[in-house]
Chain A
Amino acid sequence: MSETIEAISPAEQVTLGALFFGFLKVSLLGFGGGLVWARRIVVDQKRWLDDQEFAEILTLCQFMPGPNIVGITLCVGSRLRGPLGAVSAVAGFILLPWTVGLALGGLCLRYAHLAVLQNVLSGLSAAAAGLMIATGIRLLMPHRGRRTALLFAALAFAGMALTKLPLLIVLLGLAPLSITVTGIASARAP
């Protein structure tokens, strides 16, 4: 590997195929934490982007709706090879894992009426639900000192989990309030 050449013109070194297989790898390895693998492969292994560029893409994607990891995939592909790069990277991330997952999962679900399999699935989903709650709690920790943040997190939780309102209604109701409060707070801050 000639790192000097890569450092001079990384964009010209990256083929669409490399993007496809690079993000296929992220997808397959990224069990439960795709972000870690995306950074490891894009920044450390392939040296497609440096840490600063990757962090910028991450910031952008966290601000947007949708699966963030797909957004990162798309932005890296687009950054390196334009629209075709974006398509190659996203296709690599989704196409094969989705096809295999749908086939295997579909097969598994076909036998979900079997008592043993149903029991396994119940255990799995109970544990997976716990992981999701824990992820949310972990995300909340840095905000535990901000009373308004806790209040809005609680309101969003109650709106979705307890009153069963549509998400659009909950967001339309709470987002303007939350953003206004944040805006006022940051205007007051020195």
Chain B
Amino acid sequence: MNSPSASVALAAHLALLSSISFGGFPSVLPDVHNFVTANGWVTDREFANFFAVSQVMPGPNMILMMSFIGLKVGGIPGAMASAFATFGPPCLMYYTAHRLWDRFREMPWPQIMRRGLTPLTIGLVIAGGYVMARAADSGWPSALVTAAAVGLMLATRLNPLWILVTGGALGGLGLL
């Protein structure tokens, strides 16, 4: 599917989402998932694959994941447009805020706004994980892997890389 108008629509939607992605990009995953699957651009399985590949790459993995979607929708130009839409608008906001920071950091309302937004962003991150687990779902064994990953991450100081590798290995052995 190499439609320029689809690439533009995707980039525009990502630009909107990145501008409101409080708590980072994981919090917008459910919205992106709904948007691209409803448009028929990406299947559940592909979405889960993009997520998996981007998580094992070093560097800016959410930008990469959005670029894989762009790549599917509109080739290399689509990938570049998605990448820019993901980091461009927040960068402009960061730059402006950094410039103005000295003026508003002593005021109480940024603190109150941040404290008010924090619980929402946390809920959104968990929703992101939940939606990804559903997209990757291939029955109870994969749900078990997700649950085990949650438990190991919370209960041990294991490097998350090993948890990912173990998940991938279990899958490769055909156990999921």
Q: What are 5 pairs between A and B in contact, CB < 8 Å?
A: A106-B68, A119-B174, A123-B169, A128-B132, A134-B129
Identify the interface centre among B89, B91, B173: most chain A CB within 10 Å of its CB: B91
In whole Å, how far is A53's beta carbon from the nearest beta carbon of chain B?
Answer: 12
Q: Which of A92-132 contact B (CB under 8 A)?
A: 93-94, 97-98, 100-102, 104-106, 108-109, 112, 116, 118-132
How many angstroms from the CA of A154 to the CA of B122 in the assembled complex?
Answer: 9
Main secondary structure, interface of A, reads helix
Given contacts A71-B91, A108-B53, 4 further A-B contacts (CB under 8 A): A98-B63, A120-B169, A152-B120, A182-B116
Main secondary structure, interface of B, reads helix
**Also in contact, A167 and B136, with CB within 8 A (given A66-B91, A127-B168):** no
Q: Does B54 contact A (CB under 8 A)?
A: yes
Interface string of A150-173 (1 = CB under 8 A from B): 111111111111001011101100
Residues of B within 8 A of A157 (CB): 123-124, 126-127, 130
**Also in contact, A86 and B171, with CB within 8 A (given A131-B153, A135-B125):** no
| A residues whose Cβ falls under 8 Å from a Cβ of B | 27-33, 56-57, 60-71, 74-75, 78-79, 83, 86, 90, 93-94, 97-98, 100-102, 104-106, 108-109, 112, 116, 118-140, 143, 146, 148-161, 164, 166-168, 170-171, 174-175, 178-183, 186
Q: Is the CB of A156 within 8 A of B123?
A: yes
How many angstroms from the CA of A57 to the CA of B126 in the assembled complex?
Answer: 25
Q: Is the CB of A160 within 8 A of B48?
A: no
How many angstroms from the CA of A32 to the CA of B25 in the assembled complex?
Answer: 14
**Also in contact, A120 and B148, with CB within 8 A (given A133-B133, A164-B34, A171-B20):** no
In whole Å, how far is B35's beta carbon from the nearest beta carbon of chain A?
Answer: 8
Q: Is the CB of B25 within 8 A of A156?
A: no
How many angstroms from the CA of A121 to the CA of B65 in the assembled complex?
Answer: 14
Residues of A within 8 A of B62 (CB): 67
Q: Does B90 contact A (CB under 8 A)?
A: yes
